[in-house]
Copies of this chain bind each other. A is one copy, B any other.
C-alpha cells in the first residue's frame, strides 16, 4: 500500500530527501529482521532529531499510518517487521553518544548507538554498560532497550531494566516525555522508564537513554566444566548460584549441542560429556584466583568429568572454542532453526532439559539447547527442514509443548528476545487476563490510535489491532 501524495510530501518536508526512502526496491531492505520474516514498508524514515520523530508520529496519527521503529534488524521475533506496512523509522543515523559522565556513572546516548561502539567509548573511561547481547557488534542500544536484551553478563549485572536510569521518548500520540531520573535513586511518580523498556516500540519511540554504568573489573578468569549428564551440570549451576561469588558468565550446552559441535570440530572434551558449563568470574586482580576457586569448588560434584581453568588468553580461547563452534554448526545441520529463548528457574533446568528430550522424541524434532544457565535462560533450538513432509507442522506442535513445559515449571516464554510476532499467540499462556487487560489499557494511554508497531508484543484481540 503506497502512501497518499500529501503524506509523502509531508515526510519529505520533515526529513529532507536524503533521509527518506519510498521506492519499494530501497524500502525492502528495511522490512526484515533476524526472524527471517519480511514485509515491505511504504516508506523508511532515517530520523536524526526528536522534532522529526514528533512530526512523523503526528502525521501518522492524522493519516492512521502504522509506525515501526527499527535499530539494525538483529531482533529475532519480527518485532521490527512492518507487517501492516506503513513507515519504518530507522534509528541507525540517530547514533550520537551525548555524554559520558564517570563521576555520576552514567552515559546519555541516542537509540541508534551500536552496543559495541558504546562499550569501546566507555572502556576509555574505565566503565561498561552491562547488557551484552551476542549481537553486540551490530545491535543498537535502542533495540537492547526495546527487548530488554541482556546476554551472559546479566547473571551478575542484570538486564537493561536494572541498568537504565531514564529515557526521553515520543509516545504514540506524538507527545515528548522524559521519564526516570539522572540518579540511581528516585521515586517521584510512576516508573515509566521500565514500562517503556521491553515494550518493543509499542508504547513510545525512545529518543534518548540515560544509562547506568558499571566500572570495568580489573580482570577475569575463565573455567570450563564438563559433566556426565544434565543433572550433574544443573546441580552445579544451583550450587554456584547459592554461594557468595556470582560469576559474570555461567553458560551451558546440553548433550545435543555438544554432539552437534563434535561433528564439525575437534571438541577437546571426552565423549562421555553430557553437559558443559562455561564459567567466568571477574573482579580485582588479587581476588580472581580465590573467586575462581570458590566457583570451582561449587562446580565440583559426583558427575563432574573435567574442570579446566584457563591461565592465559590462548587457553581462554581454547575453552570457549566449543561454545563458539555451536552457532556455525547449527547453521550447517538444518535449513531452518526455530530459536527460542525461554527461561526457567535455575533449579528446574534439569527437569526442563529432560522434558525437552521427551518432546523431541514424541514429535520427531531435533532439539539443541544452550544458554545462560545462571539466569535459567535457555536457548531452545528446534532444527527443522521445511521441505520435509509434515516437519513444520510437527515442529509447531512441539514448540507449543515447549511453551507449556516452561509455564508448568514457573518459567517465562522470553528472557531477552521479546515477543514480536513470533510469540504473540502464546502470551496468554503466561499472562493472566487481568494483567493483559491492564497492559492493553496502558497501550491505549500511550498510543490511543494504535499507531506504534500495531499487533506486536501482545496477543491480537478479535476485531482489533
Contact = CB atoms under 8 A, between A and B. Distances in A.
A191 B161 contact: yes
A175 interface: yes
A410 B245 CA distance: 35
A218 interface: yes
A343 to B, nearest CB: 4
Contacts of A414: 186-188
B343 A186 contact: yes
A1 interface: no
Interface in A124-179: 126, 147-150, 154-155, 158-159, 161-162, 171, 175-179
A321 interface: no
B442 A188 contact: no
A202 to B, nearest CB: 9
A244 interface: yes
Identical copies of this chain, number? 2
Contact of A177 (B105, B294, B344, B434): B434
A418 interface: yes
B191 A197 contact: yes
Contact of A181 (B343, B423, B432): B343
Point out which of A159, A176, A184 has the most chain B C-beta atoms below 10 A from its C-beta. Answer: A184
A192 to B, nearest CB: 6
A185 B375 contact: yes
A55 interface: no
A112 interface: no
Interface stretch (A2-10, A265-273, A280-288, A393-401): A280-288
Contact of A199 (B190, B197, B203, B294): B190
Given A176-B434, A244-B215, A377-B185, A158 B148 contact: no
Contact of A187 (B147, B243, B345, B445): B147
A242 interface: yes
Q: Which 5 A-B pairs have the closest CB atoms?
A: A441-B445, A103-B238, A185-B415, A287-B287, A215-B244
Interface of A: 101-106, 126, 147-150, 154-155, 158-159, 161-162, 171, 175-179, 181-192, 194-195, 197-199, 203, 215-218, 238, 241-246, 283-284, 286-287, 290-291, 294, 343-347, 372, 375-377, 410-419, 423, 427, 430-432, 434-439, 441-443, 445-446, 457-458
